[in-house]
Structure formats: C-alpha cells, structure tokens
A = this chain, B = another copy of it.
Amino acid sequence: MIKAAYKTRQQELLISYLEESCGKHFTAEDLKKHFEEQNISLGTATIYRQLEKLVSEGKVLKYFVDEHSAACFEYLGGNCAEDEQHFHLKCEVCGTLFHLECEELAEIKSHLFKDHGFELNPFRTVLYGTCQNCRK
C-alpha cells in the first residue's frame, strides 16, 4: 500500500527555499525563523516531518556539527539525488560538505557487503574528518 503524498503549500515553500540555498545548511530552527520573518506560518512539527521525508528520499542530508545541539540539514539537489552512487564527507574544521565520487563508494560498499554482509546506505552515512585544506 502506497501513500498518496499530497502536495501542499508548506511543502513547496520549504523545498523551494532549500533549493535556492543549495550548499548551505540549516537547523530546523533556522528554517522556522526564516519563514517567520516572512510572516509565513510553518509549524515546527511540519518542518521536521517534511525534512525527515526529504532525508529518507536522499534529497536532503542530515548531519551533526556539535555533539548535542540541533541537527543540520542540507539540500542535495535534484541532480545529486538521482544517482545513488555517492558519499558525503564532512569536514569537521571548516564545515564543508564534499561529495565523493562513485568508484570509491563502490569499493567501500562492496567491501562491506562481501566481507561483512553489511549493506551500506549512502544516503544516511556521513563520513566525518578533516579535509585537505584544513590539514595544512
């Protein structure tokens, strides 16, 4: 049984703002404030529910900058969502989000699968570390 998935005004507002802001990241509160400033009402629960859906579709990435502070969300865009074959690297120093090419993903993924029976979900996985620039 498949859910109907209606289109709503709130959904469109949220997605369209995220699309505009590709490459930036937001907390749920950031988003709420943004719409408040425009006198657009968007409930917190709605924001979380929409974001969760987008995350599970691979259109938005969710990650954590600080240990126990709010989650960050970042739009990955239509083009990225299409092909499943990429990883996300998050630099803990500068905060940049990198996209890792397919070959490496395939390598790691198949390694985990063959040797450990573990089927990796690249949508949800974020590799944390330090990028080239920040290591200097």
Q: What is A's interface to B at a CB cutoff of 8 Å?
A: 62, 64, 67-68, 71, 89, 91-92, 98, 100, 104, 107-108, 111-112, 115-121, 124-132, 135
Chain copies in complex: 2
Complex CA gap A89/B68 in Å reads 20
Can you report 18 residue pairs joining A to B where beta carbons are below 8 Å apart?
A64-B64, A67-B71, A89-B116, A89-B118, A98-B116, A98-B118, A104-B116, A108-B108, A116-B132, A117-B132, A117-B135, A118-B131, A118-B132, A119-B129, A121-B128, A121-B129, A125-B126, A125-B127
CA distance A64 to B10 in the complex (A): 31
Chain B residues, Cβ within 8 Å of A67: 62, 64, 71
In the complex, what's the smallest C-beta–C-beta distance from A110 to chain B, in angstroms?
Answer: 12
